[in-house]
């Protein structure tokens, strides 16, 4: 499966914010951009989508920056995917019912729609906290430069 850079970076950004603000506080887009080696301007476009999706909130002032708008265990991957690209979990075939007996409809029904259903089910159960837990298990020392989100 291919996902856009926007979706991939959106998920990574949320994970970065969650890990960076675990003990309270905020994280700036400049800090995230540096850690993830991406353009801050591009990252800010991603963060705007995450704010509109209700995943992050921005705080102004000298200690300003971003933090999650709700706990990581309450943010499901399906929500993130739908907010950043609503076509990923959508059904593949939207033809009229008169074409229901052709081979394309059969392949879509027996293969792609089932695969999408499995993916929807999987992403509805996977939380941002699950991704962070796996990251921490793989990277016992988060300050290790070879191990970053």
Distance CA 11, CA 129 (A): 12
3-class DSSP state for residue 65? strand
Class of domain 1-72+130-149: mainly alpha
Confidence class of residue 2 from pLDDT cuts 50, 70 and 90?
confident
Q: What is the pTM of this model?
A: 0.82
| 12-69 residue pLDDT tens | 999 999 999 998 899 999 999 999 999 999 999 999 999 999 999 999 988 889 999 9
Which range, of 106-110, 123-127, 137-141, averages the lowest pLDDT? Answer: 137-141
Q: Is the pLDDT at 134 greater than 80, yes or no?
A: yes
Of 128 and 112, more confident? 128
Structure tokens at 51: 């704010």
Provide the residue ranges of all domains of the chain, joining segments of one domain with +. 1-72+130-149, 76-126
76 phi, psi to nearest 5 deg: -95, 145
């Amino acid at each position: 499966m291919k996902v856009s850079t926007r979706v991939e970076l959106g998920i990574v950004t949320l994970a970065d914010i969650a890990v960076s603000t675990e003990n309270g506080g905020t994280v700036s887009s400049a800090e995230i951009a540096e850690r993830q080696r991406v353009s801050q301007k591009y990252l800010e476009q991603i963060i705007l989508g995450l704010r509109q999706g209700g995943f992050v909130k921005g705080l102004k002032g000298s200690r300003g920056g971003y933090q999650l708008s709700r706990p990581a265990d309450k943010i499901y991957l399906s929500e993130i995917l739908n907010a950043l690209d609503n076509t990923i979990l959508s059904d593949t075939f939207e033809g009229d019912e008169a074409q229901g007996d052709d081979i394309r409809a059969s392949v879509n029904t027996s293969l792609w729609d089932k695969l999408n259903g499995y993916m929807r089910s999987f992403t509805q159960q996977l939380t941002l906290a699950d991704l962070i837990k796996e990251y921490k298990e793989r990277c016992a020392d988060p300050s290790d430069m070879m191990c970053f989100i």
